[in-house]
């Protein structure tokens, strides 16, 4: 293969992750402009088990790399991707902006001298090369980037941003690619620790009252807990409050916490870091209250108020009697 | 144990900034500078490992930045780092994550540490890439997004944070590079005395030439070029709730009532 697009599929604990289909969908959108084939690589202990599912609409070939470890290992993935880029010589490589891919893709880009961008939200093709958009200044602005003089560019795409590819006929040919990986691993997997439920399930709540950094004192957390209760809402929080130990991890909304889809998400004093938005942007109605009118949370909110959360809490309490 | 901690002085946009019509960059007057939030945690993790190993180790803070970035390394020194290195060349002003990682690689290579601890990401660029790219340039073993570390002889047991609250426990031998997630520890604050004393600790200002690099070599390692900045596309325009706090509170209770009826 010369040129074309290589998609790096992602699996975890034996299942293909949704982002894999979003990567194939994004690759399909620009396949004609990139030229060449659309090839999906899977690096997994049992790649054959997932090959048919990955043979989506527009996929010309699935490359199966057998990993010697039961789960993801960053250095194995890194060596496998470097070998695939060297043998297949793709023009464009798409992988996930996920914790696994962020654990090896930047090293691959550094070692192989690739064009590289992470957390990409738009990809287009101009004058024979990729042009991308990604956040800048903490997501308050969008930067447009290109990759002059790069033979191959590796892009990590933000999850839940690109439309997934349709299932397709599943008959794209599967080719086994032999990469020497037996001595590649540099970490030893010891186990997984599943998240603790702590008796609260914010993922199924109808109304979430979610608090963030605007709550500056641990003593105020209890107040918002009782306010939530009186509103018929469940209390949740953004990462900083959980990091500080003010609330248990089970109440955390975001990439590393829970993905929630309540009818109403009331965000008080949450600025809206990308990782937080990833966990709540699909809420049916989002109401954001923040003192910073430029806070990224307002970009996804249906209703917004530029206001101090304590002033609002005073009035909510008064109105509830 | 010798630990190198790359740190970054990050830029935060003021509440009321304006994007110039050419979209090249924002007015520096609209920026506030501070130590990257993640780097306070990586630095504290390094101090804890040094002190846990009997205190005979060394923590070296490194930054790539102009003289305004002295504040970041002085902050690290005040919190307990033993010495600091600041690397700068005016040609690095537009350096992306890979270019910065290439510069750091040259400096870290001279230090030959047991461990490199980076923040998972910086709050301004949010690449989440510099640390693992640095490992790539150095050929070091690496683990991204660590939320727990236990040091046991020549090996670390690390808790790696995955999506949805899942945690993987794994072991890695030294030397290695980890990227550190917020919440792994409680970063200490520097006392006034420590802030004063920081100025007496060694801070080496280093040029690219000192590291055997030049601007061209760094530019060749860069992964991307920024063509311009724009305001984010508004997915949906939020309806602004105005009026008094009482009006807003009443409207919010109404919205909740309508949606949950």
Q: Would the CB atoms of A75 and B13 count as touching at under 8 Å?
A: no
The pLDDT assigned to B237 comes to 76
The pLDDT assigned to A1 comes to 55
Q: Would the CB atoms of A106 and B129 count as touching at under 8 Å?
A: yes
How many whole angstroms separate alpha carbon B216 and alpha carbon B220? 6
Is any Cβ of chain B less than 8 angstroms from the Cβ of A135? yes
Is any Cβ of chain B less than 8 angstroms from the Cβ of A49? no
Q: Which residues contact A79 (CB under 8 A, 6 or more apart)?
A: A179, A181, A184
Q: Would the CB atoms of A243 and B182 count as touching at under 8 Å?
A: yes
For A149, A270, B147, B246, the CA distances from B253, given in Å and listed in that order, are 56, 19, 38, 11
| Residues B8 and B71 sit within 8 Å (Cβ to Cβ) | no
Instruction: Report the sign of the C-alpha dihedral through residues A40, A43, A48, A54, in that order.
Output: negative
Q: Would the CB atoms of A304 and B238 count as touching at under 8 Å?
A: yes
Q: Which chain A residues are within 8 Å of B123, Cβ to Cβ?
A: 138
Is any Cβ of chain A less than 8 angstroms from the Cβ of B202? no
Q: If you ran DSSP here, which 8-state letter would residue A91 be given?
A: S
CB interface of A with B, residues 222-281, below 8 Å = 231-233, 239-240, 242-244, 249-250, 252, 255-259, 263-264, 266, 274
Q: Which token pair is B154? A: 């020549």
- Reading chain A (321 residues) residue by residue, the pLDDT tens digits are 579 999 999 999 889 999 999 999 999 999 999 999 999 999 999 999 999 999 998 999 999 999 999 999 999 999 999 999 999 999 999 999 999 999 999 999 999 999 999 999 999 999 999 999 999 998 889 999 999 999 999 999 999 899 999 887 778 999 999 999 999 999 999 999 988 766 788 988 999 999 999 999 999 999 999 999 999 999 999 999 999 999 998 999 998 888 999 999 999 999 999 899 999 998 999 999 999 988 999 999 999 999 999 999 999 999 998
Q: Which chain B residues are within 8 Å of A307, Cβ to Cβ?
A: 245, 248
Q: Is A287 helix (H, G, I), strand (E, B) or coil?
A: strand
Query: Which of B238, B259, B261 is the mutation pick for testing A, counting most A CBs within 10 A?
Result: B238
For A115-143, b/e burial (b = at least 16 CB within 10 A) is: bbbbbbbbbebeeebbebbbbbbbbbbbb
How many whole angstroms separate alpha carbon B183 and alpha carbon A192? 19
Tokens 């792994």 appear where?
Answer: B184
Query: Which of B33, B96, B240, B252 is the mutation pick for testing A, counting most A CBs within 10 A?
Result: B252
Is any Cβ of chain A less than 8 angstroms from the Cβ of B115? no
The pLDDT assigned to B247 comes to 95
Q: Where are the beta strands (DSSP E) in chain A?
A: 5-8, 11-12, 15-16, 38-44, 61-66, 92-96, 115-126, 129-136, 141-146, 153-157, 174-176, 187-193, 207-211, 234-237, 264-268, 285-290, 303-306
Share of chain A above pLDDT 70, in %: 99
Q: Would the CB atoms of B182 and A256 count as touching at under 8 Å?
A: no
How many whole angstroms separate alpha carbon B212 and alpha carbon B217? 10
Instruction: Report the sign of the C-alpha dihedral through residues A181, A182, A184, A190, in that order.
Output: positive
The pLDDT assigned to B102 comes to 98
Q: Which chain A residues are within 8 Å of B243, Cβ to Cβ?
A: none
Closest CA to B175 of B116, B231, B222: B116
The pLDDT assigned to B169 comes to 97
Q: Which chain B residues are within 8 Å of A274, Cβ to Cβ?
A: 126
- Tell me the per-residue pLDDT of B8-37, one tens digit each, with 9 for 90 and over: 999 988 877 888 888 788 888 889 899 999
Is any Cβ of chain B less than 8 angstroms from the Cβ of A131? yes
How many whole angstroms separate alpha carbon A54 and alpha carbon A1? 19
| Residues A225 and A241 sit within 8 Å (Cβ to Cβ) | no
Low-confidence ranges of chain B (pLDDT < 70): 55, 234-236
Q: Which chain B residues are within 8 Å of A250, Cβ to Cβ?
A: 165
Quick count: other Cβ atoms within 10 Å of Cβ A76?
24
Chain A nearest C-alpha distance from B154 (Å): 13
CB interface of A with B, residues 54-93, below 8 Å = 71, 74-75, 78
- Tell me the per-residue pLDDT of B164-196, one tens digit each, with 9 for 90 and over: 889 999 999 999 999 999 999 999 889 999 999
**Which residue of chain A has the CA closest to B182?**
A243
Tokens 């090896």 appear where?
Answer: A104
């Amino acid at each position: 293969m010369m040129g074309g697009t290589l998609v790096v599929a992602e699996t975890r604990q034996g299942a293909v992750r949704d982002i894999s289909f979003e990567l194939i969908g994004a690759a399909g959108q620009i396949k004609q402009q990139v030229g060449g084939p659309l090839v999906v690589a899977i690096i997994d202990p049992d790649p054959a088990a997932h090959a048919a599912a990955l043979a989506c609409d527009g996929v010309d070939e699935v490359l199966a790399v057998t990993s010697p470890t039961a789960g993801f290992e960053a250095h194995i993935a890194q060596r496998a991707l470097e070998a695939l880029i060297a043998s297949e010589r793709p023009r464009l490589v798409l992988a996930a902006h996920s914790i696994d891919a962020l654990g090896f893709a930047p090293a691959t880009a550094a070692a192989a001298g690739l064009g590289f961008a992470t957390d990409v939200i738009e990809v287009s093709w101009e004058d024979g090369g990729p042009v991308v958009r990604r956040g800048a200044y903490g997501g308050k602005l969008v930067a447009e980037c290109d990759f002059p003089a790069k033979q191959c560019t590796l892009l990590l795409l933000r999850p839940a941003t690109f439309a997934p590819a349709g299932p397709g006929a599943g008959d794209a040919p599967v080719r086994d690619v032999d990469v020497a990986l037996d001595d590649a691993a540099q970490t030893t997997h010891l186990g997984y620790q599943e998240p603790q439920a702590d008796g609260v399930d914010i993922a199924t709540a109808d109304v979430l009252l979610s608090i963030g950094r605007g709550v500056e004192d641990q003593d105020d957390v209890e107040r918002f807990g009782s306010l939530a209760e009186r509103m018929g809402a469940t209390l949740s929080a953004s990462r900083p409050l959980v990091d500080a130990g003010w609330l248990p991890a089970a109440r955390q909304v975001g990439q590393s916490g829970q993905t929630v889809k309540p009818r109403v998400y009331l965000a008080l004093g949450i600025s809206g870091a990308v990782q937080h938005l990833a966990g709540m942007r699909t809420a049916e109605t989002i109401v954001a209250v923040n003192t910073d009118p430029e806070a990224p949370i307002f970009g996804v909110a249906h209703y917004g108020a530029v206001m101090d959360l304590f002033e609002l809490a005073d009035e909510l309490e008064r109105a509830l009697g | 144990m010798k630990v190198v901690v790359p740190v970054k002085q990050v830029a935060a946009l003021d509440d009321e900034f304006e994007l110039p019509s050419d979209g090249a960059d924002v007015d520096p007057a609209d920026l506030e500078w501070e130590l990257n939030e993640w780097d306070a945690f990586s630095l504290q993790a390094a101090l804890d490992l040094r002190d846990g190993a009997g205190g005979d180790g060394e923590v070296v803070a490194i930054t790539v930045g102009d003289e305004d970035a002295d504040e970041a390394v002085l902050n690290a020194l005040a919190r307990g780092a033993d010495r600091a290195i600041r690397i700068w060349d005016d040609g690095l002003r537009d350096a992306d994550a890979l270019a910065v990682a290439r510069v750091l690689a040259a400096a870290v290579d001279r230090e030959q540490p047991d461990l490199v601890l980076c923040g998972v990401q910086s709050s301004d660029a949010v690449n989440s890439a510099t640390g693992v790219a640095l490992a790539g340039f150095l050929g070091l073993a690496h683990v991204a997004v660590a939320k727990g570390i236990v040091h046991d002889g020549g090996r670390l047991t690390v808790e790696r944070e995955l999506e949805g609250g899942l945690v993987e426990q794994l072991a890695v031998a030294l030397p290695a590079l980890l990227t550190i997630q917020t919440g792994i520890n409680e970063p200490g604050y520097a006392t006034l005395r420590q802030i004063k004393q920081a100025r007496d600790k060694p801070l080496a200002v280093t040029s690219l030439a000192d590291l055997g690099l030049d601007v061209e070599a760094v530019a060749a390692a860069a992964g991307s070029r920024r063509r311009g900045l724009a305001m984010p596309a508004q997915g949906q325009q939020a309806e602004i709730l105005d009026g008094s706090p009482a009006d807003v509170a009443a409207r919010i209770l109404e919205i909740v009532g309508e949606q949950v009826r």
